[in-house]
Amino acid sequence: MIFKRFIFLAFGSFMAVVSVVGIFNTVVDPFDVYRLVRSNGFNEIKPLYGEYTRLAKVIQIERFPRTTIALGSSRAQFGVDMQHEFWGNGENEKGWNLALSGAHMYEVSRLFDHAVDVSDVEKVLIGLDFFMFNANRQGHLEDESYFSVDKNGTPQSLHQLRQRVLTMGTTDAISASFETLRKQKVKEDKFNEFGRMLSQRERSKALDDGGFERVFLQNEAAYARQTWTACKNNSFPLRKPEVNGPLELLEKILEKAAKRKIEVVLFISPSHARLWETLDATGLWAEFEQWKRELTKSIQKVKIKNGSSVQLWDFSGFSDYSTEKVPAENDKAMKWYLDPSHYSVELGRLMLDVIHAGTRDAGGERVSFGRPMNVSTIDQLLIDIRNERAKYRLENPELIKRIWTGANKQLEERTRVGEQCSNVEGKGV
Amino acid sequence: MLFNSYIFIFLFLPIALVGFYVLSKTSRSEAKFLWLVVASFLFYGWWNASYLIIILGSIVVNYAVGTVLSGEHGNRAKKLILFLGVTANLGLLGYFKYANFFVDTINQVTGFNIPLDNIVLPLAISFFTFQQVAYLVDAYRGEVKDYDFIHYCLFVTFFPQLIAGPIVHHKEMLPQFIKGNTRSRSENFSIGITIFTIGLFKKAVLADGVSQFVGPAFSSAESTMVMSTFDAWTGALAYTFQLYFDFSGYSDMATGLARMFGIVLPINFNSPYKSKSIIEFWRRWHITLSNFLKEYLYYSLGGNRLGEKRRYINLFLTMLLGGLWHGAGWTFIIWGALHGAALGINHFWHRVKQHYGVIGSSKAYAVISLLLTFLTIIVFWVFFRAETVSGALNIIQAMFGLSPDVERTVSSGSIYWFVMLSAICLWAPNTYQIMKNHEPVLEQRMLTGEVTDKLLWKPSLKWAVIVAILLFWSICTLSSVTEFLYFQF
């Protein structure tokens, strides 16, 4: 009898602990996925949201369906404003910025599949970055169990249970709840309520880290060393045999969107001119241009097959904005950039203005920012950018020299100790 | 299917238990054991169904050979059958576990290029092979009764101990299957769930928690990076604790699970880090393996019957092969050899002590012995964990300040872990001592040492709450939310 009582007590205590912890995590809601209670000084600020966006954004779009979404990497996460009139939403129907730091095309395609499965998506904006298309780096996500469909499109019937377990019954969730209760200062807020990362905080961080020049140098080195490719042989394949490479994944997104009558707008991020110069110095400019050509071909292919129209805008290159001077003083912030790769939401808004209203301003003057890119315009576009680059070089000889020296140093180091990569569609250094 | 997985805890185990309890009420006792055999095969086949053919083939052949050996045959015929049976078992183990290692070694030494596909090691083959070799040897010795096939199957496949032990002996298991357990189902379940929960907590919270400090140190050592003394000690200590809580946690889980089905398993860990000598360590660490090696290898080699010199050689060989049993690699062989040598030195020291009449019963002697033993074990574990011999040497050099000291990279947060885990390992009573009033394991006599009444398990509200909290805490760690990986992008 005493043992039966023990079993009853143990089971009852277990259920009590499960209930208390589950309710606690739901109410504190550190990942901002339940939104039952939001109170100033209690849980209004979500300091841990940024560390769990990969889980949180998947749940958010499912629990709070929206018709407009933005996808891409951290550039889109910082720069795409879901309140811009480009989206054409009413006051109460803002979309979700579902872009994720470091996302490659596989992750973007998984999020797209999930979003269209759980929500009536009508319009999607996808920020494209060169590094996302390195076929060597496409693969799997560590945990895909909380997506509504698996990678083959088969429904995952237990995914919502999984979402609840992860957000209510894990030590991560518990410690995130306590952290949330502890850190309720405004400076801890890193994202807005639509999933966009806040620029201001990143600007302050750059100043705290020794100023923008220092942040630029660090980032340029990191990109040259490993972000585009970490291979000894500088390999950057866009396709790989027998696997669904990034371009194929993009085509699949476009195909699905065409079938579901979802409007798709693609854009190449307006990173800073110094990053494009670093890219060239790293020996990847030819691949970069080839990537752009392949993008236009992929879109054309889907267009012919489905009769759909997909807009593709190229904001890369050497505009008045992307050539913004990087202040040498360590207490001066930049207006349009957070680092050479990430642009501010202000520039993101200008970008959306252009996509929304075209490349001419109200007076009919051409705005020198962004170009529509397709199979007809690509050749001229590439020439124009090369010309702009030549002009930028002429105007900044010392800076260019520094960038090339820095990139070459990283490249040499990578050639020495980088990853061994097969040479599939890549090139030797 | 792992014990520390949702599917095992919330699906497989409840179904297996309910089926077992329901079938226990039927008049035919074979039904519940047949149910357990089917459940065990399902458990095993979950990883890779094709492995079922190997384990099933092994069971059928060994049962047949055992039956023949138990019959009336001439001594020579029996010897031949035993030889063939043991050779077949070791051949199977050798092929799956060691073929790649030996071919690679031959290729490296001779420069040949003998081709061999990468052979995948079937799960638990080391364990079920050893159990059945023991069965055959005992059948040859006439120490095996006639058992029916279902009982034999269950002895080999019983899922709580199938994957990672304890290595059970037919004499321990088969009589329990036949006679059953006199304790009530609710008592067995209460004891079982408590031991299982403690084991799960050891594995999921303690071992997995401290493991964060292991990987970085050993990875650095492999990439020949110079590391600081602090980092090297952190890696070695963290692994020392990780391995103990992982393996003893698994053994606890196995013991608890078996107990839920009314089966009492042999003790496998008995606070090994409290040992005051290497000899004592091997009486407390992975006890069922030590017993097997002693019974079927050390004694077969002659044990200590052939003189003092042969005793050292036999000890060394036994530990060398014990090392190789753990894994096909030079690091395991060196680890075994080091323990073999240490055991030899330890025995020699005992002789010296006896010769000079040193008693060594003071507290200081005990503390020094404990620390020296612990230090030796920590250093030896480095070989056990390292991927290469040079990696192990890199860590050991850094541990003893023999490599250029560099700035440490590991946070001092590891120290809190080490203090807490040391207290548990070196001071706290172990799971079975806490449960000692309820026959948690076979060989109760090994559970020496006083445990205060407060710490002894009782079917009380306090313990019900403790079990509930530990279980919930452990389950909470089974999933970690993937944090974002590429902030630099």
| DSSP-assigned states of every residue in A99-125 | --TT--HHHHHHHHHHHHHHS---EEE
Q: In a 10 Å sphere around its CB, with 0-12 CB exposed, 13-18 middle and 19+ buried, how is residue B108 labelled?
A: exposed
Out of A6, A21, A52, the one facing B190 most closely (by C-beta) is A6
End-to-end CA distance of chain B: 36
Q: In a 10 Å sphere around its CB, with 0-12 CB exposed, 13-18 middle and 19+ buried, how is residue A127 labelled?
A: buried
What's the pTM value of the predicted model, to 2 decimals?
0.84
β-pair type (A96-97, A68-71): parallel
> Could you give the CA distance from residue B18 to residue B4 in angstroms, rounded to a whole number?
20
CA distance B184 to chain A (A): 9
Indicate which residue of B73, B170, B326, B355 is catalytic. B326
Please report the pLDDT score of residue A282 as a whole number: 94
At how many degrees (to 10) do helices B389-399 and B229-260 cross?
Answer: 120
Q: Which amino acid is at B148?
A: D
The residues on A that touch B, with CB distances below 8 Å, are: 2-7, 9-14, 16-18, 21, 50-55, 73-74, 100-102, 131, 141-143, 165-167, 169-174, 222, 227, 341
Interface test with A, best of B197, B462, B482 (most A CBs within 10 A): B482
Task: Print burial letters for A360-380: b (CB count within 10 Å at least 16), e (below 16).
Answer: eeeeeeeeebbbebbeeebee
Per the rule left: phi > 0, alpha: psi between -120 and 50, beta: everything else, A303 is alpha
**Is B459's CB within 8 Å of A6's CB?**
yes
Please report the pLDDT score of residue A139 as a whole number: 63
Give the residue among A43, A17, A40 at the shortest CA–CA distance from A32. Answer: A43
Helix (H) or strand (E) holding A71: strand A68-71
> Please, what is the average pLDDT of chain B?
87
> Could you give the CA distance from residue B471 to residue B185 in angstroms, rounded to a whole number?
21
Please report the pLDDT score of residue B484 as a whole number: 38
As given in the structure block, the two tokens for residue A55 are 């889980």
Rg (CA), chain B: 24
* Mean pLDDT computed over B109-130: 79
Please give the angle made by the CA atoms of A403, A408 and A409, to the nearest 5 degrees: 100
Would you say residue B42 has pLDDT above 50?
Answer: yes
In chain A, whose CA is at the least distance from the CA of B192?
Answer: A7
Would you say residue B108 has pLDDT above 70?
Answer: yes
pLDDT > 90: percent of chain B: 47
Please report the pLDDT score of residue B486 as a whole number: 34
As given in the structure block, the two tokens for residue B15 are 């179904």
Adjacent-strand bridge partners of A371 = A314
Chain B positions in Cβ-Cβ contact with residue A131 (cut-off 8 Å): 489
Please report the pLDDT score of residue B30 as a whole number: 81
Are A294 and A374 within 8 A, CB to CB? no
Out of B190, B468, B481, the one facing A13 most closely (by C-beta) is B468
Q: Please write the tens of the pLDDT for every residue from B182-224.
A: 788 999 999 999 999 999 999 999 999 999 898 888 888 887 6
The structure tokens 């505009």 sit at A319
Query: At B27, is the pLDDT very low, low, confident or very high (cuts 50, 70, 90)?
Result: low
User: Does B151 participate in catalysis according to the annotation?
Assistant: no
Please report the pLDDT score of residue A194 as a whole number: 93
> Could you give the CA distance from residue B238 to residue A110 in angstroms, rounded to a whole number?
37
Q: Please write the tens of the pLDDT for every residue from B239-295.
A: 999 999 999 999 999 999 999 999 999 999 999 999 999 999 999 999 999 998 898
**Is A169's CB within 8 Å of B475's CB?**
yes
In chain A, whose CA is at the least distance from the CA of B193?
Answer: A7
Out of A10, A141, A173, the one facing B468 most closely (by C-beta) is A10
Please give the angle made by the CA atoms of A356, A359 and A363, to the nearest 5 degrees: 100
Q: How many CB atoms lie within 10 A of CB A20?
A: 11
In chain A, whose CA is at the least distance from the CA of B471?
Answer: A14
Residue with more model confidence, B345 or A358: B345
The structure tokens 């699949």 sit at A252
* C-alpha torsion A69→A74→A75→A76, nearest 10: 0
> Could you give the CA distance from residue B272 to residue B287 in angstroms, rounded to a whole number?
10
* Mean pLDDT computed over B321-331: 87
β-pair type (A311-314, A68-71): unpaired
> Could you give the CA distance from residue A420 to residue B56 in angstroms, rounded to a whole number?
43
**Is A17's CB within 8 Å of B469's CB?**
yes
Q: How many A-B residue pairs are in contact by the CB < 8 A criterion?
A: 104
Is B473 part of the contact surface with chain A (CB cutoff 8 Å)?
A: yes
CA distance A2 to chain B (A): 7
Chain B positions in Cβ-Cβ contact with residue A166 (cut-off 8 Å): 479, 481
**Is B468's CB within 8 Å of A174's CB?**
no
Q: How many CB atoms lie within 10 A of CB B347?
A: 18
Please report the pLDDT score of residue A359 as a whole number: 62
**Is B488's CB within 8 Å of A52's CB?**
no
Chain A positions in Cβ-Cβ contact with residue B481 (cut-off 8 Å): 52, 55, 166-167, 170, 172-173
Distances (CA, A) of B345 to B275, B295, B380: 16, 21, 15
* Mean pLDDT computed over B12-17: 96
Among A108-112, B16-20, B386-390, the minimum mean pLDDT is found in B386-390
Are A127 and A269 within 8 A, CB to CB? yes
Chain A positions in Cβ-Cβ contact with residue B467 (cut-off 8 Å): 10, 13-14
Please report the pLDDT score of residue B233 as a whole number: 93
Is B193 part of the contact surface with chain A (CB cutoff 8 Å)?
A: yes
CA distance B477 to chain A (A): 6
Interface test with A, best of B473, B479, B480, B487 (most A CBs within 10 A): B479
Task: Print burial letters for B289-321: b (CB count within 10 Å at least 16), e (below 16).
Answer: bbbbbeebbbeebebeeeeeeebbbbbbbbbbb
Out of A50, A74, A172, the one facing B481 most closely (by C-beta) is A172
Query: Which residues of chain A have a pLDDT value below 50?
Result: 425-429
> Could you give the CA distance from residue B477 to residue B467 in angstroms, rounded to a whole number?
16
> Could you give the CA distance from residue B92 to residue B127 in angstroms, rounded to a whole number?
12
Would you say residue B97 has pLDDT above 50?
Answer: yes
Are B332 and B386 within 8 A, CB to CB? no
| Residue boundaries of the structural domains of chain B | 6-182, 186-488
* Mean pLDDT computed over B54-58: 92
3-state SS assignment for residue A312: strand
**Is A7's CB within 8 Å of B193's CB?**
yes
Is B416 part of the contact surface with chain A (CB cutoff 8 Å)?
A: no
Per the rule left: phi > 0, alpha: psi between -120 and 50, beta: everything else, B307 is left
Q: How many CB atoms lie within 10 A of CB B68?
A: 16
In chain A, whose CA is at the least distance from the CA of B487?
Answer: A101
Running DSSP on this structure, what letter comes out for residue A144? -
Q: Which amino acid is at A18?
A: V
Please report the pLDDT score of residue A92 as a whole number: 66
**Is B187's CB within 8 Å of A73's CB?**
no
Chain B positions in Cβ-Cβ contact with residue A227 (cut-off 8 Å): 488-489
> Could you give the CA distance from residue A267 to residue A129 in angstroms, rounded to a whole number?
9
Adjacent-strand bridge partners of A126 = A71, A266
Please state the ipTM of this predicted complex. Answer: 0.87
Out of B459, B476, B488, the one facing A222 most closely (by C-beta) is B488
